[in-house]
Amino acid sequence: MQPTTEQRLWMYRHMVLSRYLEERIEELYMEGKTPVFNMAKGPIPGEMHLSNGQEPCAVGVCAHLTPDDIVTATHRPHHIAVAKGVDLDAMVAEIFGKATGLSGGRGGHMHLFDAAVNFSCSGIIGEGLGPAVGAALSRKMQGKPGVAVAFLGDGAANQGAFHESLNLAAVWRLPVVFVIEDNGWGISVPKQASTAVPRNDRRASGYDIPGMHVADNDVEGVFAMAGEAIARAREGQGPSLIEIETSRLAGHFMGDGEEYRPKGEKERLEQRDPIPRYRQQLLDIGALDETSDAELVERAQTRIEAAIRFAQQSEFLPPEAALEEVFA
Amino acid sequence: MQPTTEQRLWMYRHMVLSRYLEERIEELYMEGKTPVFNMAKGPIPGEMHLSNGQEPCAVGVCAHLTPDDIVTATHRPHHIAVAKGVDLDAMVAEIFGKATGLSGGRGGHMHLFDAAVNFSCSGIIGEGLGPAVGAALSRKMQGKPGVAVAFLGDGAANQGAFHESLNLAAVWRLPVVFVIEDNGWGISVPKQASTAVPRNDRRASGYDIPGMHVADNDVEGVFAMAGEAIARAREGQGPSLIEIETSRLAGHFMGDGEEYRPKGEKERLEQRDPIPRYRQQLLDIGALDETSDAELVERAQTRIEAAIRFAQQSEFLPPEAALEEVFA
Amino acid sequence: MTTTSKSTSRKLTIARAMAEAMAQEMRLDPRVFVMGEDVGPLGGVFGNTRGLFEEFGAERVRDTPISETAFIGAAVGAASDGMRPIVELMFVDFFGVCMDAIYNLMAKNTYFSGGKVKVPLVLMTSTGGGYSDAGQHSQCLYGTFAHLPGMKVVAPSNAYDAKGLMTAAIRDDNPVVFMYHKSLQGMGWLGTEKGATVPVPEESYTVEIGKAAVVREGHDVTLASLAAGVHHCLRAAKILEEGGFSAEVVDLRSLVPLDRETLRESVAKTGRLIVVDEDYHSYGVSGEIIASVAEYSGCRLKAAPQRVAYPDIPIPFAPTMEQWALPNADKVVAAFHEMMKENRGENS
Amino acid sequence: MTTTSKSTSRKLTIARAMAEAMAQEMRLDPRVFVMGEDVGPLGGVFGNTRGLFEEFGAERVRDTPISETAFIGAAVGAASDGMRPIVELMFVDFFGVCMDAIYNLMAKNTYFSGGKVKVPLVLMTSTGGGYSDAGQHSQCLYGTFAHLPGMKVVAPSNAYDAKGLMTAAIRDDNPVVFMYHKSLQGMGWLGTEKGATVPVPEESYTVEIGKAAVVREGHDVTLASLAAGVHHCLRAAKILEEGGFSAEVVDLRSLVPLDRETLRESVAKTGRLIVVDEDYHSYGVSGEIIASVAEYSGCRLKAAPQRVAYPDIPIPFAPTMEQWALPNADKVVAAFHEMMKENRGENS
Ligand SMILES: Cc1ncc(C[n+]2csc(CCOP(=O)(O)OP(=O)(O)O)c2C)c(N)n1
Ligand SMILES: Cc1ncc(C[n+]2csc(CCOP(=O)(O)OP(=O)(O)O)c2C)c(N)n1
Ligand SMILES: [Mg+2]
Ligand SMILES: [Mg+2]
């Protein structure tokens, strides 16, 4: 399955949007955190897991989804949220904890919920899988269209929830796709020290479902595999599992010293940064030229800056609002 | 791998011991529970999960184990306890809740612990797997010999603990063998309604470990596969997974009406009762004759009767003993 | 919404009352469905889904694999997508294999979404011992669930409340943990607490979640409890009555929200409090109830409050030990007499 | 076994004190080992295993997959087989994915085996918020763990106690849950409570599990708390002192066993009690502490006891909301003044 030019540009644009967002968050996050790094300080306090490098997973999958389809993402959710079409203003405002945020600042960066595009994420490893299965069940029972996609990390593939959810989805033949973003790390622990198989797509056969693999963080490889898996799901042929070799260009979270990384790894990964690579690919096939690229990048930056401004200019909810929304 | 005559007779004797124990427990359990079945009544109150039909799994595996090896069993533990060499008197006394029981009556039939032969079991599905992995780790770290075997039901193979434990054992290459007693049921739910693969040994490849299968509840098939897996473990080649097709001749627990069983299933299973089958096999190859069989059966019955008498004649702990042994 | 008419004299067990509430809601609302282990053809190990499979079929009454994390997580996903699942965790003792799905997901998604995602889900689960099912099948764990914010927690003592609370729970837009005590289910094989099988109207009705009930009036002492404990209290009240004392019995019915008003009013009247709780003694329901009264300066106690709770030990198998450890009417009566020895004067 | 000599003036953070206790025990006893996520080369996300990997290597300081059920279950199996594992659950908030291994296995095997199987295991886990890590990374859950029998539960407020309690926990033949509060760890990036970094002797010593400490004497009110809350209390006591009131501060240190004697003695002396608890308000530590005093007829209270606890809400991300909801010294002071308005006479 090959993307159309429009799809190619959509993917590229969303990669650029996402990356620029992360770069800006990185800067803003550090405000108030120098010279002494204290997570509690600055306009964006708390943990921050950046998605730099993992954009191909998000765009290659979400290119096939409509707002009606369901996505559950992880503690590292920004790129996926951007590609799923989460309201950018409200999302950035949520990351800043503002009243105008997706949930008024109650959730923060690990808890982004946008019901309008059926997006959610969570801070617990493997927690999104069950809900994706359930959303797919809901669609099947209601006879409504819709596919659910659960994103997870390679580390998450060793959680019990992974096994239970894949089995349940397979037994009930539900329209779900499980997408593993294999960045080779779970915080400081390398994949080979935590995962008994080199590739998790091999685990699909334990559920009698297709297992697919995308090497080298390849945008169009993701697009192709995800397209197949999502089409299968839409046609009622049940779940699939995809593992994507991707790269975590940043630390696990902001403030990570990354001493555990083998020397040179980071530089190597940066040289394979998927965004300049895909840009070059698009230039090579003529889907993009320098001018249209510059325009696209500028538009993306403008959009992100607007969202940041929106967030910065928004107010916080009054503190007592903490007591609200516990119950519907 | 073929058993010696001695091993054959050992396996047969332990099957007979176990079955006779279950038959007697069945009778004793019903005391005080007729005409109205109330689980709280009689000399053996509480849930009772009989192992009738699953003896091949226990003896075929335990034939390869020494008291030093570790076994963790399930909520349906009697056959395995018998084959592992758990003290019969103390075990039956525990089932009766007596002071002379393995734990003074604190545990009961689902919580049989005999440290002398490294046996334990538990009432939570999949709960024994982690401890088996840990015991194997302990041996490896201490440089002591010993293999750990975790028994589980086919239903348990869909618990998260299964996945996590197999992965951990494989990553650390520990001497553990996982043995699935596939009786086709999890209470009233048939395997095909709960398990996405027809055979769980297929799941082994998700952990890069050998997956073995034994069809038709075959004692010597179990012996051969378990022998191979245990030898691998002893040689430091890591874990294996074995699935054994076995049969639950009784209900899930005593009092189960079993209306959910397809018509004729029970009769069919009874015709394939592994004990008369194995007896015939041993007669056929001359390992057993009618006289030695009768003797063996009688000795087994005598042993069980002695254990039951021991249990019946034992006292209960004083009620306040409930407060003891919470902490070491 | 609360109907108190008990026009009918038809008595139901709690098991049947639960099933009836579910069936009625399933007829009304196609979004309601049931899932869990053995809830289908078997009708639930504790009988509370009997008849549902026959009426609604395998799509809406779904047997699951033994995968509590996945299917409770799935229920949250379905509830967030517009369905109204009723999920069963067969024994509350199993919560440890799936508590993340329950408390980090089910209980928090509404808050995390700023109220935009609703999780209308009923998690029903059996509690309690007394029939020698030992330490992994006999617990109550009321305190464990009630402690964690974001879910309502109810525990009926009789079939009338069970039906009304179940209906209310299904209609609630929030997750409700419905804890039913095995000894009250009316399944013969678990023994039967007669007082739990009461007249239940055929028509649908709700019992408001968050309202305690004064199930017996009195003025010498307040006996506060829930589920099976209510019956111990009622028996104790009878014994005390024979001795010339008048006990008020408060059936909490709901732990979250907790009706502290009813409780405090009662204790303000009686001046004495005994909490009866089959859950573990420390850091649980009994402590909270006592604290809720003690911290309320409107209650002047005539004696130090007492609790008759399960000791802080795993639940032993042997019936001798288990029965000794469980709360019962005699222990409540003894606690009362102990209390009467203390003389604080009128305003202590 | 308790040594109280603080001969050294060397100050350590709690993180370093924990690591030092582990290292000393690992040198003494080859059965002691550490496992958990990122405890190896990284030295623990919260610094408490720093240096161990370098000294003891990958066999004894084991990074695990993100498989808490398996590795905590494995720790139980190893402990039962003669090892003495120290396991890390990175954030206590994650308990839901592995609570079965913790409470049905780790906490019960000794009982189920009639005392014949020992489970000498330390489960260390981080607690607490205050740095905007939101609702799945900021909880305390003290009550959740303390409620379930079979495991000891400690929560130090300073490095001296942390080292002594850790050493005691490792030497204990029972499972001990060691809850360390992130704001006290002394990791700069989590902020630093200065009062937690105190002189710690180089030599090995134990602090007895189950003994509270009166960390400040006073006679007008007892402020009871644990971990980070102790520092709020100490600050409140200073403010109160300026106002002419004298507050006694009780650092519980251990929730299981709970030192009710020290607590009751203190309240018997002061006649007033405020419990400060960062865990959820209802059905938790604060309720239990109040009940433990209220039910003890030796304590005559001059005012209704109060609690300053975390409200029954998930923990919000926005710092404005989170800080507002957290306990602090001002809230304690306000609670005291509120209390002083009540006049019960001397023996109420
Ligand atoms: C159940 C659970 N265990 C541990 C953690 C702590 N934790 C947060 S992210 C992370 C690593 C996750 O690795 P992976 O799934 O590969 O995702 P990545 O961070 O690489 O994107 C861990 C261990 C958690 N959040 N939840
Ligand atoms: C975590 C958990 N979930 C559910 C149960 C209830 N339960 C007890 S036995 C059983 C069926 C187990 O099936 P299987 O593993 O195949 O073992 P079998 O009973 O067939 O021997 C179930 C669901 C439990 N004990 N623990
Ligand atoms: Mg990763
Ligand atoms: Mg089975």
pLDDT in tens, chain C (348 residues): 444 554 558 999 999 999 999 999 999 999 999 999 999 999 999 999 999 999 999 999 999 999 999 999 999 999 999 999 999 999 999 999 999 999 999 999 999 999 999 999 999 999 999 999 999 999 999 999 999 999 999 999 999 999 999 999 999 999 999 999 999 999 988 888 999 999 999 999 999 999 999 999 999 999 999 999 999 999 999 999 999 999 999 999 999 999 999 999 999 999 999 999 999 999 999 999 999 999 997 778 999 999 999 999 999 999 999 999 999 999 999 999 999 998 665 443
CA of A252 to the centre of ligand 1 (A): 9
H or E element that contains A325: none
The total of other beta-carbon atoms located within 10 Å of residue C247's CB is: 26
Instruction: Give the model confidence (pLDDT) of D121-143 as tens digits.
Output: 999 999 999 999 999 999 999 99
C309, C278 Cβ separation under 8 angstroms: yes
Confidence (pLDDT) at C1? 40
Please report, as a single letter, which amino acid is at residue C211.
Answer: K
Is a pLDDT exceeding 70 seen at residue D7?
A: no
For D317-342, what is the mean pLDDT?
A: 97
HEC readout, A271-306: HCCHHHHHHHHHHHCCCCCHHHHHHHHHHHHHHHHH
**Ligand 2 contact via B155 beta carbon (within 6 Å):** yes
Beta-carbon pairs below 8 A across chains C and D: 175
Nearest to D122 by CA among D160, D195, D172: D172
Confidence (pLDDT) at D86? 99
For the record, the structure tokens of D311 come out as: 């409200």
Residues of chain A in contact with residue D314, where contact means CB-CB under 8 angstroms, are 106, 326
Rounded Cα distance between C255 and A297, Å, is 55
Q: Which domains does chain C have, with CATH numbers?
A: 2-199 (3.40.50.970), 213-341 (3.40.50.920)
Instruction: Give the model confidence (pLDDT) of B44-68 as tens digits.
Output: 999 999 999 999 999 999 999 999 9
Complex confidence, ipTM: 0.98
Rounded Cα distance between A156 and A243, Å, is 12
CATH 3.40.50.150 for domain A5-314, yes or no, is no
Instruction: Give the model confidence (pLDDT) of A126-182 as tens digits.
Output: 999 999 999 999 999 999 999 999 999 999 999 999 999 999 999 999 999 999 999
For A60-68, what is the mean pLDDT?
A: 98
For A267-289, what is the mean pLDDT?
A: 97
Provide the chain C residues 98-137 that lie in CB contact (below 8 A) with chain D.
Answer: 98-104, 107-108, 111-112, 135-136
- Closest residue by Cα to atom 21, ligand 2, is B153
- D137 carries an active-site annotation: yes
For D184-200, what is the mean pLDDT?
A: 92
Any CB–CB contact under 8 A between B277 and chain A? Answer: no
Residues of chain A in contact with residue D313, where contact means CB-CB under 8 angstroms, are 322-323, 326
Any CB–CB contact under 8 A between C347 and chain D? Answer: yes
Rounded Cα distance between D198 and D7, Å, is 12
Report the atom number in ligand 2 closest to the C-alpha of C38: 23
C43, C52 Cβ separation under 8 angstroms: yes
Helices (H) then strands (E): counts for chain A: 10, 8
Beta-carbon pairs below 8 A across chains B and D: 154
- Contact criterion met (CB < 8 Å) for A170 and B208: no
Is a pLDDT exceeding 90 seen at residue B254?
A: yes
Confidence (pLDDT) at C345? 53
Dihedral-angle region of residue B217 (phi above 0 means left; psi in -120 to 50 means alpha; beta otherwise): left
* Smallest-distance ligand from the CA of A252: 1
Report the atom number in ligand 2 closest to the C-alpha of C97: 1
Confidence (pLDDT) at C344? 65
Is a pLDDT exceeding 50 seen at residue A105?
A: yes
Residue D192 pLDDT level (bands cut at 50, 70, 90): confident
- Closest residue by Cα to atom 1, ligand 2, is B125
CA of A123 to the centre of ligand 1 (A): 8
Is a pLDDT exceeding 60 seen at residue A108?
A: yes
What are the boundaries of each domain within chain B?
Answer: 5-314
* Smallest-distance ligand from the CA of A74: 1
**Ligand 2 contact via B95 beta carbon (within 6 Å):** no
Any CB–CB contact under 8 A between D51 and chain C? Answer: no
Residues of chain A above pLDDT 90, percent = 100
- Contact criterion met (CB < 8 Å) for A134 and C110: no
- Residue D130: closest C-alpha in chain A: A40
- Residue A162: closest C-alpha in chain B: B160
Any CB–CB contact under 8 A between C101 and chain A? Answer: yes
Mean pLDDT, all residues of chain D:
95
- Contact criterion met (CB < 8 Å) for D116 and B115: yes
- Contact criterion met (CB < 8 Å) for C291 and D305: yes
- Closest residue by Cα to atom 20, ligand 2, is B186
Q: Which of D37, D68, D88, D288 is catalytic?
A: D68
Residues of chain A in contact with residue B168, where contact means CB-CB under 8 angstroms, are 158
Residue D31 pLDDT level (bands cut at 50, 70, 90): very high
**Chain D: touching chains (3 or more CB pairs < 8 Å):** A, B, C
Confidence (pLDDT) at C300? 83
Is a pLDDT exceeding 60 seen at residue B231?
A: yes
For B188-205, what is the mean pLDDT?
A: 98
Instruction: Give the residue with greater pLDDT, D150 vs D299.
Output: D150
Residues of chain A in contact with residue D131, where contact means CB-CB under 8 angstroms, are 38-40, 45-46
For chain A, strand residue ranges (E) read: 70-73, 119-121, 148-153, 176-182, 185-186, 189-190, 211-214, 240-245
- C337 carries an active-site annotation: no
Residue of B34, B39, B203 to mutate when probing chain C, most C C-beta within 10 A: B39
- Closest residue by Cα to atom 17, ligand 2, is B153
Instruction: Report whether the peptide linkage leading into residue A35 is cis, meaning its omega lies within 30 degrees of zero.
Output: yes
Instruction: Give the model confidence (pLDDT) of D199-232 as tens digits.
Output: 999 999 999 999 999 999 999 999 999 999 999 9
Å from C198 to nearest chain A CA?
32
Provide the chain D residues 7-36 that lie in CB contact (below 8 A) with chain B.
Answer: 31, 33
- Contact criterion met (CB < 8 Å) for D136 and A97: no
Instruction: Give the model confidence (pLDDT) of D141-161 as tens digits.
Output: 999 999 999 999 999 999 999
Confidence (pLDDT) at D348? 38
Any CB–CB contact under 8 A between D76 and chain B? Answer: yes
- Sequence-distant (≥ 6) Cβ neighbours of residue D9 within 8 angstroms: D199
- Contact criterion met (CB < 8 Å) for C320 and B156: no
Beta bridge partners of B195: none
- Contact criterion met (CB < 8 Å) for B164 and D69: yes
Nearest to C210 by CA among C163, C147, C255: C255
Task: Return the SS3 of D125.
Answer: strand
Task: Return the SS3 of A72.
Answer: strand
Burial label for B285, CB within 10 Å (0-12, 13-18, 19+), is: exposed
Rounded Cα distance between D61 and D27, Å, is 13
Confidence (pLDDT) at D342? 81
